[in-house]
Structure 1
């Protein structure tokens, strides 16, 4: 029982020990991804004034894709085709 209390005291005192001076590499790069994301958003401040349409998917294909996406939430999930039952 005495050994238990000695070990408990040692673990408690170990929690009070000084930690290393920090993580200099992580601290210098803290927030870098947030700053990069912000810079990517403001890199072209005049993008909203550009009248040229974005080249990409045509309207009919986009509409069908959107309809299919919306329908995927209203349809029940398909039943499994392979079922194992225990008798």
Structure 2
């Protein structure tokens, strides 16, 4: 009888402890670091409310940037094989089988 009572009390204590919330301080501030980093990365939070042009861009630089942007869609750069399976750079034989 003593063993059953002790086991029951131990199980109730164990189940009660497993339901308690052990991280209230962490959960109260969850996501603060990400929100703080986003705030620090934003140079001008009021930028959408003004009609000022982009600072630091003159007409020629802006035109060339837009031309480069449009040209990148007309003739995109070739894809690069990063993994490089089957040979060295520029090796079109597909491997070193020696045939």
TM range (shorter): 0.3 to 0.5
Bigger relative CO (Cα 8 Å, ≥ 6 apart): 2
TM-score w.r.t. length of structure 2: 0.40
TM-score w.r.t. length of structure 1: 0.44
Bigger Rg, structure 1 or 2: 2
